[in-house]
Amino acid sequence: MTSVVPARTSAELIGAEEPVLAHNYHPLPVVVARAEGTWVEDVEGRRYLDMLAGYSALNFGHRHPALVEAAHRQLDRLTLTSRAFHNDRLAEFAERLAALTGLDMVLPMNTGAEAVESAVKVVRKWAYDVKGVPADRATIVVAADNFHGRTTTIVSFSTDEVARAGFGPFTPGFRVVPYNDLAALRDAVDETTAAVLIEPVQGEAGVVVPDDGYLAGVRELTRRAGCLFVADEIQSGLGRTGRTLAVEHESVVPDVVLLGKALGGGIVPVSAVVARREVLQVLHPGEHGSTFGGNPLAAAVGTAVVELLETGEFQRRAADLGGVLREGLEALTGNGVVGFRTRGLWAGVDVDPAIGTGREVSERLMREGILVKDTHGSTIRLAPPLTITEEELRGALRILEKVLGRV
Ligand SMILES: Cc1ncc(COP(=O)(O)O)c(C=O)c1O
């Protein structure tokens, strides 16, 4: 006999999490039960416009029909082999992803942090095998206020004390310079430098867009210094900024591009290190791996994601609607907004601290049917699915105006 468990309310479910779930997050008090496209619905049937999109993991919206169909088809056929054997989906995924990014080779992983960790290993190996850096002397130059994930090596080069405190000892071999500062970068790079690793737009820092010329400057500087340029496009990539990759705004091709989040279409975790052949070919069997990396389900969904991006439609939408977003935020500047930064359909909005913290504003927006997330202090981040309609976006901006108007 099947027993019927009575449905629990949002409040009951939030209360039930408390004693059993690690407290490493402070979610907004909304319990999502269903979603489609740009909309999510909570346990009580209240609807919300998703203006966060899983930190850009849902660039194509919730349950995009083409992605769900690709997943269903693959679920019915083959889901996992491990890399002990070949699977019939991986070659196409790698070929098409390499072509999409203009690079040569792909190392498939699962989460964003794993892609970053993998890149750290790959560029170090490249420094020893190709550049000739003495053993264990390789350095990687990174930017202050970076966010590349949560593993021990990655927090070793974070400048966020909350992310680091209590987790030492840390991995050596990293130099931190201010973001958007080519002179500081030039001073930090030397003959031990394997790579410069930066986000083309710093997402978690509050959608910080560097000055025009910075990314091209990093490309030029790394080329001259004989080290690699690694662009972490895990949040900025795959359509979000109005281009396939954010580095395209300056016509830059890095040596290594890190992808994640939207690469799994909001269905499965899929990440990848995509690089020039000279770089990724330093890996040999046994030196790196992942049980789930490159699994056929991930490859099928990832291929369907690449297929959506090959049309150019999502990049165009992000660029066009990004204009609407920017205009809307310009109109709010001085009216509750004290500053903002946008790149495509992505914005960091600094709200007047007199109105409330980012968290308080996020909670007020939630009560008005809009889901966003604060970053630091009084900054909120807007990153809706790229499938959002202009009408939905304008509606969200009207609600933001209403919420910010309430001092
Ligand atoms: C730029 C960047 N790199 C890496 C990561 C880590 O990705 P994940 O949470 O999948 O490990 C994130 C996550 O927010 C990110 O924004």
Task: Examine the fold and report which residue of 310, 325, 345 is the final residue of a domain before the chain moves on.
Answer: 310
For ligand 1, whether the C-beta of 210 sits within 6 Å is: no
Which residue of the set 42, 50, 145, 232 is catalytic?
A: 232
Q: Determine the residue of 235, 271, 290, 381 to mutate for testing ligand 1's pocket, defined as the one with the most ligand atoms within 8 A of the Cβ atom.
A: 235
Question: How far is ligand 1, taken at its centre, from the CA of residue 268, in Å?
Answer: 15
Residue 174 lies in a domain: yes
List, for residues 154-163, the tens digit of each pLDDT value. 999 999 999 9
CATH number at residue 23: 3.90.1150.10
Residue 58 lies in a domain: yes
Same domain for 74 and 169, yes or no, is: yes
For ligand 1, whether the C-beta of 233 sits within 6 Å is: no
Which is the closest atom of ligand 1 to the Cα of 269? 10
List, for residues 274-299, the tens digit of each pLDDT value. 999 999 999 999 999 999 999 999 99
Same domain for 238 and 364, yes or no, is: no
The proportion of the chain whose per-residue pLDDT surpasses 90, expressed as a percent, equals: 97
Tokens encoding 371: 């889901």
> What is the average pLDDT value for the chain, to the nearest integer?
97
Distance CA 394, CA 396 (A): 5
Let me know: does 245 contact 101? Beta carbons within 8 Å: yes
What is the reported pLDDT for 163? 96
Residue 1 lies in a domain: no
pLDDT of 27 over the 60 cut: yes
Question: How far is ligand 1, taken at its centre, from the CA of residue 340, in Å?
Answer: 22
Which is the closest atom of ligand 1 to the Cα of 203? 16
pLDDT of 186 over the 80 cut: yes
User: Confidence band (pLDDT; 50, 70, 90) for 81?
Assistant: very high
Question: How far is ligand 1, taken at its centre, from the CA of residue 56, in Å?
Answer: 10
For ligand 1, whether the C-beta of 203 sits within 6 Å is: yes
Question: How far is ligand 1, taken at its centre, from the CA of residue 45, in Å?
Answer: 31
Which residue of the set 42, 60, 125, 261 is catalytic?
A: 261
Q: What is the residue with the minimal CA distance to atom 13 of ligand 1?
A: 149
Distance CA 372, CA 346 (A): 12
Same domain for 74 and 131, yes or no, is: yes
Distance CA 147, CA 149 (A): 6
Radius of gyration of the chain (CA): 21
* Strand order, beta sheet including 347-351: 337-342, 347-351, 379-382, 373-374
Same domain for 208 and 85, yes or no, is: yes
pLDDT of 407 over the 60 cut: no
Same domain for 262 and 115, yes or no, is: yes
Residue 200 lies in a domain: yes
Query: DSSP of 181-230, one letter per residue?
Result: -HHHHHHH--TTEEEEEE-SSBTTTTSBPPPTTHHHHHHHHHHHHT-EEE
Sorted by sequence, the CB contacts under 8 Å of residue 365 that are 6+ apart come out as 51, 371, 372, 380, 399, 400, 403
pLDDT of 214 over the 90 cut: yes
Residue 139 lies in a domain: yes
Same domain for 56 and 98, yes or no, is: no
For ligand 1, whether the C-beta of 156 sits within 6 Å is: no
Residue 326 lies in a domain: yes
List, for residues 126-142, the tens digit of each pLDDT value. 999 999 999 999 999 99
pLDDT of 406 over the 70 cut: no
Question: How far is ligand 1, taken at its centre, from the CA of residue 256, in Å?
Answer: 16
Residue 5 lies in a domain: no
Q: Which domain, by its residues, includes 22?
A: 10-63+313-404
What is the reported pLDDT for 1? 58
Q: What is the residue with the minimal CA distance to atom 10 of ligand 1?
A: 112
CATH number at residue 282: 3.40.640.10
Residue 247 lies in a domain: yes
For ligand 1, whether the C-beta of 117 sits within 6 Å is: no
Which is the closest atom of ligand 1 to the Cα of 55? 14
Q: What is the mean pLDDT of residues 360-388?
A: 95
> Omega of the bond prior to 169 within 30 degrees of 0, cis?
yes
Tally of structural domains, the chain:
2
List, for residues 44-63, the tens digit of each pLDDT value. 999 999 999 999 999 999 99
Is 232 considered catalytic here?
Answer: yes
Q: What is the mean pLDDT of residues 141-152?
A: 98
Same domain for 69 and 133, yes or no, is: yes
What is the reported pLDDT for 405? 87
Q: What is the residue with the minimal CA distance to atom 3 of ligand 1?
A: 148
Question: How far is ligand 1, taken at its centre, from the CA of residue 204, in Å?
Answer: 9
User: Confidence band (pLDDT; 50, 70, 90) for 377?
Assistant: confident
> How many CA within 13 A on the CB side of residue 381?
24
Is 261 considered catalytic here?
Answer: yes
Same domain for 281 and 325, yes or no, is: no
What is the reported pLDDT for 67? 98
Let me know: does 61 contact 385? Beta carbons within 8 Å: yes
What is the reported pLDDT for 5? 74
Which residue of the set 93, 147, 157, 314 is catalytic?
A: 147
Task: Examine the fold and report which residue of 293, 310, 327 is the final residue of a domain before the chain moves on.
Answer: 310
Question: How far is ligand 1, taken at its centre, from the CA of residue 216, in Å?
Answer: 23
What is the reported pLDDT for 2? 61
pLDDT of 4 over the 80 cut: no
Which is the closest atom of ligand 1 to the Cα of 261? 10
Q: What is the mean pLDDT of residues 36-50?
A: 98
List, for residues 332-349, the tens digit of each pLDDT value. 999 999 999 999 999 999
Distance CA 380, CA 249 (A): 24
Q: What is the residue with the minimal CA distance to atom 8 of ligand 1?
A: 112
Q: What is the mean pLDDT of residues 218-237?
A: 98
Which is the closest atom of ligand 1 to the Cα of 258? 3
Same domain for 169 and 285, yes or no, is: yes
User: Confidence band (pLDDT; 50, 70, 90) for 350?
Assistant: very high
Task: Examine the fold and report which residue of 310, 326, 357 is the final residue of a domain before the chain moves on.
Answer: 310
User: Confidence band (pLDDT; 50, 70, 90) for 6?
Assistant: confident
Q: What is the mean pLDDT of residues 393-401?
A: 97
Q: What is the mean pLDDT of residues 184-212?
A: 98
Instruction: Report helix, strand or coil for 367.
Output: helix
For ligand 1, whether the C-beta of 237 sits within 6 Å is: no
The terminus-to-terminus CA distance of the chain in angstroms comes to 56
Q: What is the mean pLDDT of residues 369-386?
A: 94
Query: DSSP of 76-134, one letter per residue?
Result: TT-----TTS--TTHHHHHHHHHHHHT-SEEEEESSHHHHHHHHHHHHHHHIIIII-PP
Same domain for 250 and 302, yes or no, is: yes
Same domain for 20 and 85, yes or no, is: no
Same domain for 30 and 167, yes or no, is: no
List, for residues 317-332, the tens digit of each pLDDT value. 999 999 999 999 999 9
